[in-house]
Structure 1
Amino acid sequence: MNRATSEINGILLMNKPQGFTSHDVVAKLRGILHTRKIGHGGTLDPLATGVLPVFVGGATKAADFAAAQDKEYVAGFTLGLCTDTQDVTGRTLRTSEKKVCRAEAERVLAGFLGPQKQVPPMYSAVKVNGRKLYDLARKGKEVERPARDINVCALELLAFDETARRGSLRCVVSKGTYVRTLVSDFGEALGSLAVMHSLVRTRAGAYALENCRTFDEVERAMDDGSIQDLLLPTDSLFPDFPAVILTDEGAERIVRGAVVFPRQAQGLPEQENALCRVYHGGRFLMLGQVRRLDKGGLGLFVYKNFR
């Protein structure tokens, strides 16, 4: 591995192609970038396309933060059909001939807004008693799955063809939400059935689809030595966290794990447990957390290092 390759660090926004799993994307990039220090932030099914943040080098330690952020999707759905996977790749279980008008679809869809419980599908990577559900599903087994807390932050019907019984919807959802399950539940609530026939992740946290790259672009950048220019800095993942600028003394203290006092940290939030981006000399160092000191007052502590 040459020196330039070993120093690749940051967040690569990929437009995941259909037919690839998230792990497939990481495996292919591992070969292109010649590094094993790489991971993704938020799984997409093979059917889906769109935003997949990929973390390289020290940025891999930030992948869990990306997975926890809200995501935006555009999902295509077909009414009158139910499959074992809740999308068009599965085996048909039931059909329905019920006709649905747009007004009814919009009324029912509005009922799915907000915090709610969702039962994950059998064809998912969720584990029950230590076993992944899709492993059981492939053996024809179905087990009881505990419902999980999710939040549907936004939901709108973008298009609906009453005759073809096909449409698309836009949704903004919390971590752990299965859009194909949302589509399936929507169909049941209509008194019909529904499967997802397409899915595009248009945003993951602050990262939008228009800023994503293809494999060809990454390969060209590796060939001409500009690969680092395609990667976003790790702190781009935290645009809503306040920035704290350390003095030389403060930087020296925090890099060895010691508490930093307010006089050494410009912009330190006056709120206990607040997370913030920590900088020194124009360079992002880490995420810090404000905590109360034993002798009173607040101090800045290391929360997460990305070196």
Structure 2
Amino acid sequence: VEGRKEYIAEFTLGVQTVTGDDSGEVVKTMPVPAFSKQELEVVLAQFTGKQMQLPPMYSAIKINGKKLYQLARQGVEVERTARPIEVYKLELLHYTANSFTVRVACSKGTYIRVLGEDLATALGTCGTMSFLLRTQVGAYTIDKACTLQEIAENPEACAAEPLTAVAELPKLKVNARQAARITNGVRTTVAQTADGRYVLLGPGDEFLGIVRCEQERLQAEKILEHYPMPEE
């Protein structure tokens, strides 16, 4: 969830839908002004970097206990607050007179549909997302993905190493006694450990779980394996 995400996305210009993609009802059409590749790349550069983005109504964000898309389906629109996001890369792959395809690398919480609508507005028209392929999330890339058929035939062969799920967290190796205490729910002091979240490794580099450190004291956050208390 925390990791960097990458997509290939196509946006069709001159039409806008209620959902922001081509599955929704068309709510607006506009003429598409002529633009060159250079002009399009200038607009893409404007949307690269840190920015604020308003979440769409058709999203799973909850307000007062209800998901926005549930309210949207009832015809209710509520006020949303813009959220900080970051677009690390916005690379033009292909374009026509009324569409363009980009490779997007972005932070969590980025709505590609909204990015497409904003890009279209900057080009002087409206737009909607007509294709989306997620090619990376964190340490997982599409070239290492398996089909549903491959998973059904041999699920174990398709499983990734557990540590890939937490590849972006720093690792913290502890001794046997510390490992036993932490994995059994006891807050444990580990001197000179900075505040933050860590992958907890046992004395033999066993992946034991995820811990949080505050003022050199470690608290279990998610334990995968309980380490046995060593004999005195």
Q: TM-score, normalised by structure 2?
A: 0.86
Partner of 2:182: 254
Q: Cα distance, 1:260 vs. partner?
A: 4.5
> What amino acid maps onto 2:220 in structure 1?
V
2:14 and 2:30 in contact (8 A); partners too: yes
Q: SS of the counterpart of 1:121?
A: coil
Partner of 1:80: 14
> What amino acid maps onto 1:178 in structure 2?
Y
Q: Cα distance, 1:198 vs. partner?
A: 0.2
> What amino acid maps onto 1:251 in structure 2?
A
CA spacing shift, 1:217–1:271, aligned 2, 3 Å:
same
1:89 equivalent to 2:11? Answer: no
Q: CA separation in 2, counterparts of 1:117 and 1:154?
A: 16
Q: SS of the counterpart of 2:42?
A: helix
Q: How does 1:267-282 map to 2 (within 5 A)?
A: 270-280=192-202, 281-282=204-205
Q: Cα distance, 1:299 vs. partner?
A: 4.6
**Structure 1 unaligned blocks of 5 or more:** 1-66, 222-226, 263-267, 293-297
Q: SS of the counterpart of 1:199?
A: strand
Q: CA separation in 2, counterparts of 1:92 and 1:259?
A: 55
Q: CA separation in 1, counterparts of 2:189 and 2:24?
A: 57
Q: Cα distance, 1:209 vs. partner?
A: 0.5
Q: Cα distance, 1:125 vs. partner?
A: 1.7
Q: CA separation in 2, counterparts of 1:244 and 1:146?
A: 37
Q: Cα distance, 1:275 vs. partner?
A: 2.7
1:231 equivalent to 2:159? Answer: yes
Q: Cα distance, 1:199 vs. partner?
A: 0.2
Q: CA separation in 1, counterparts of 2:48 and 2:197?
A: 29
Partner of 1:204: 137
Q: SS of the counterpart of 2:60?
A: coil
CA spacing shift, 1:217–1:119, aligned 2, 3 Å:
same
Q: CA separation in 1, counterparts of 2:219 and 2:57?
A: 42
> What amino acid maps onto 2:210 in structure 1?
L
Q: How does 1:1-307 map to 2 (within 5 A)?
A: 67-97=1-31, 98-161=33-96, 163=97, 165-221=98-154, 227-260=155-188, 262=190, 270-280=192-202, 281-292=204-215, 298-307=216-225
1:201-236 per-position Cα deviation (integer Å, ceiling 9, x unaligned): 000011100111111111111xxxxx3332123321
Percent sequence identity over matched residues? Answer: 36
1:154-200 per-position Cα deviation (integer Å, ceiling 9, x unaligned): 21212112x3x221011112222110110011101111111110000
Q: SS of the counterpart of 1:213?
A: coil
1:80-102 per-position Cα deviation (integer Å, ceiling 9, x unaligned): 11111111112222222222222
Q: SS of the counterpart of 2:89?
A: strand
Q: CA separation in 2, counterparts of 1:229 and 1:108?
A: 44
1:67-117 per-position Cα deviation (integer Å, ceiling 9, x unaligned): 232211110111111111111112222222222222111111111122222
CA spacing shift, 1:282–1:192, aligned 2, 3 Å:
same
Q: Cα distance, 1:132 vs. partner?
A: 2.0
Root-mean-square deviation (CA), in Å?
2.1
Q: How many residues align?
A: 223
Q: SS of the counterpart of 2:185?
A: coil
Partner of 1:24: none
Q: SS of the counterpart of 2:114?
A: helix
Q: CA separation in 2, counterparts of 1:257 and 1:136?
A: 41
**Structure 2 unaligned blocks of 5 or more:** 226-232
Q: CA separation in 1, counterparts of 2:74 and 2:187?
A: 53
> What amino acid maps onto 1:153 in structure 2?
Y
Q: SS of the counterpart of 2:208?
A: strand
Q: Cα distance, 1:131 vs. partner?
A: 2.4
